[in-house]
Amino acid sequence: MSEKNNKVKFNLKNAHYALLSIAEDGTVSYAVPTPMPGSVSISLDANGEPENFYADGVAYYVINNNMGYDGDLELAMIPESFRTEVLKEELDAKGVLIENADVELASFALLFEFDGDQKHIRHVLYNCSASRPGIEGKTNEDSKEVQTETLTIKATPLANGMVKAKTGNTTDATVYNDWYKAVYMPTAAAEAAVQSVAKTTSSTSTSAKSDS
């Protein structure tokens, strides 16, 4: 990575999504990130404000209410893969997308980046849901105008509290270069997930021996 630090950022690009799976034991895993070409804009507001707990006539404790982010992701056009895998629209035998009110929408990680004057800044939001996009368009007049599509995104914390991650000034080069190959998980979180699986396996094995 460059030793120079960014002074400014601009130009949203490289949006990806990765399907999120949570096992019965709480282990989190992600599919390989899928590109979402045509990023136009993203605007996510922080959800949750700190609250004071008062005791002894003073603000005795500050309660952290980090509930993630809410906002919009604007794209030139929502990819068909996102519609089928996340919004759960069904592609029938005739190649027609069918929207069904009874389906459960999928959760996913959202990855994207901004250009900087020195290097790109890469982001991931770990636990996202998207509402169905509206239908909007208008007739051509004197010139053609591109009609974009917008997803309303809700990013909430995982069970372990993680909300998002982004690359910094000293991010490891391998982590930076592999950002879109797999969803980045902090080392401590990854180790905890492995330990959780190991404990579950050990417990199951011990129980089986006791039964025998």
Express as a percent the part of the chain with pLDDT over 90: 64
Q: What is the pLDDT of residues 100-158, one digit of tens each?
A: 999 999 999 999 999 987 889 999 999 999 999 988 888 888 888 888 999 999 999 99
Residue 6 lies in a domain: no
DSSP-derived secondary structure letter, 119: S
**Burial of 83 from C-beta contacts in 10 A (0-12 / 13-18 / 19+):** middle
Residue 188 lies in a domain: yes
Cα 154 to Cα 144: distance, rounded to the nearest angstrom = 32
Cα 86 to Cα 84: distance, rounded to the nearest angstrom = 6
The answer to whether 16 touches 180, Cβ cutoff 8 Å, is: yes
Residue 141 lies in a domain: yes
Residue 9 lies in a domain: no
**Burial of 72 from C-beta contacts in 10 A (0-12 / 13-18 / 19+):** middle
Q: Give pTM, 2 decimals.
A: 0.80
Domain housing 24: 15-211
Number of domains in the chain: 1
Q: Is the dihedral of CA 93, 96, 97, 103 positive or negative?
A: negative
Residue 205 lies in a domain: yes
Residue 7 lies in a domain: no
Residue 176 lies in a domain: yes
Q: What is the pLDDT of residues 39-68, one digit of tens each?
A: 999 999 999 888 888 898 888 888 888 899
Residue 10 lies in a domain: no
Q: What is the pLDDT of residues 6-28, one digit of tens each?
A: 888 789 999 999 999 999 999 99
Confidence class of residue 188 from pLDDT cuts 50, 70 and 90? low
Residue 46, Cα to own-chain centre: how many angstroms? 14
Cα 156 to Cα 164: distance, rounded to the nearest angstrom = 9
